[in-house]
Homo-oligomer: A and B are copies of this chain.
Amino acid sequence: MGEQLRRRPTLADVARMAGVDTSLVSRVLRNDPRGFASAETRERIRAAAQEVGYRANAAARGLRSARTMTLGLLLPGFSSPVYASIAHGVEERAGQHGYGLVLGTHAAGDPHETITDMLMHGRVDGLLVASGRIEDRALRRLVGQVPQSVVLVNRQVRGVAASVVLRDADASAVAVAHLAELGHRRICGIFGPGGLDTMVRRRLGFLAECREQGVEPAVVEMAERDQRAGFDGVGRALARDPRPTAVVAGTFPMAVGALAGLHDAGIAVPRQMSVVALHNDGLADYLVPRLTAVAMPTERLGAEAVELALALVNGGEPRRVVVPDPPRLVRRESTAPLISND
């Protein structure tokens, strides 16, 4: 019959119940190698803990050990499928290491505030920044204060040594190569703002592969990278002379918007215009037509970011990581061989 406690049970409660000292309870419950209690005592302690429903208080533990076992993840918002996927990868891998996740977005407030609060108050052991929107300067300033624990996700910034990115240039190349193989010779790339380094890499990869393939490239640069930007961007692509016969959209939402824009313009996809998205998403199979896309390992991106962050937390050196998995073409219905040359 355990005494009924009104308050949260503490180590002391368990210790009293098992007739041992708190320190021993602590060691046993954490499987501390230095806590080699006799099998019998161990059992008694475990039973007592079980009985009162003991749960270590995270604050006390964190205060004492200076480890929160929590990682922070800073996102631009919850909406984009790419960020959802990254977040999923982060959460899963963090969980495998026994780490929890504190989430912050900066859709509304001042990004630098959020960042500062999480790291500076010691709420998290490390911070993953997966937002393209925070200014480089703010980032450098932050990292100047706590260099050991900030990892950039899907982004590189001069002066920040720890980052994980994907093979963006190769993704563009895969898209272009696919279209070239289908016979397209005038391809338009619709990209987001040139200030975002993913976009820079994708555009460079696009241009390089066009040259490689003997394809005439056109580039449209938009101020955003959402559906509307794709919708508007494809209008600009159609105005080009000579008109391209295929489009590479810099993001998945842009491709969705491009599809809508082409439909509104009365251009049939893929008969009159082929469309490829950079990044894949479950939605692709439910669009009309089903969207050909270049799949990128976004979950793994999140997972690798966690690994790097934990390495830093444990005193490792900052590194620039490129997730090695190659981008992979998922062929669906929005691309087809070039038919007429006009």
Residues of A within 8 A of B (CB): 8, 53, 55-60, 62-63, 68, 70, 77-79, 81, 83-85, 87-88, 91-92, 95, 100-105, 107-109, 116-118, 120-123, 145, 227, 231, 256-257, 259-260, 263, 282-283, 285-288
Q: List 24 contacting pairs A-B, 8 Å CB cutoff, sorted by A.
A: A53-B120, A55-B121, A55-B122, A56-B121, A57-B63, A59-B60, A59-B63, A59-B68, A62-B62, A77-B84, A78-B78, A79-B84, A84-B84, A92-B108, A100-B104, A100-B117, A101-B103, A101-B104, A227-B282, A227-B283, A257-B286, A260-B287, A263-B288, A287-B287
Instruction: Classify the interface of chain A: helix, strand, loop or mixed.
Output: helix
Q: Separation in Å of the A50 CB from the closest CB of chain B?
A: 13
B105 touches A102 (CB 8 A): no
B227 touches A286 (CB 8 A): yes
A286 and B229 CA atoms in complex are apart in Å by 11
B55 touches A120 (CB 8 A): yes
Residue from B8, B62, B282, B286 in contact with A79 in the complex, judged by beta carbons closer than 8 Å:
B282
Which chain B residues border A81 with CB–CB below 8 Å? 79
A8 touches B122 (CB 8 A): yes
Name A68's closest neighbour in chain B (CB-CB). B59
Name A230's closest neighbour in chain B (CB-CB). B286
B62 touches A91 (CB 8 A): no
- Copies of this chain, complex-wide, total 2
Which chain B residues border A58 with CB–CB below 8 Å? 59, 62, 121-123
A58 and B117 CA atoms in complex are apart in Å by 10
Which chain B residues border A53 with CB–CB below 8 Å? 120, 145
Which chain B residues border A287 with CB–CB below 8 Å? 260, 287
A57 touches B122 (CB 8 A): yes
A87 and B77 CA atoms in complex are apart in Å by 10
A108 touches B123 (CB 8 A): no
Name the residue among A92, A108, A122, A256 with the largest chain B CB count within 10 angstroms.
A122
A121 and B57 CA atoms in complex are apart in Å by 5
A121 and B60 CA atoms in complex are apart in Å by 10
A260 and B283 CA atoms in complex are apart in Å by 10
Q: Separation in Å of the A65 CB from the closest CB of chain B?
A: 9
A63 and B8 CA atoms in complex are apart in Å by 13
Q: Separation in Å of the A232 CB from the closest CB of chain B?
A: 11
User: What would 10 more interface pairs be, CB under 8 Å, given A53-B120, A55-B122, A57-B122?
Assistant: A55-B120, A58-B59, A59-B63, A77-B84, A77-B88, A78-B85, A88-B105, A259-B288, A260-B288, A288-B288
Which chain B residues border A84 with CB–CB below 8 Å? 77-79, 84
A59 touches B122 (CB 8 A): yes
Which chain B residues border A118 with CB–CB below 8 Å? 100
A95 and B106 CA atoms in complex are apart in Å by 11
Top-4 shortest CB links A-B: A59-B62, A78-B84, A55-B120, A59-B63
Name the residue among A53, A70, A79 with the largest chain B CB count within 10 angstroms.
A79
Which chain B residues border A120 with CB–CB below 8 Å? 53, 55
A85 and B107 CA atoms in complex are apart in Å by 12
Name the residue among A56, A77, A118, A287 with the largest chain B CB count within 10 angstroms.
A287
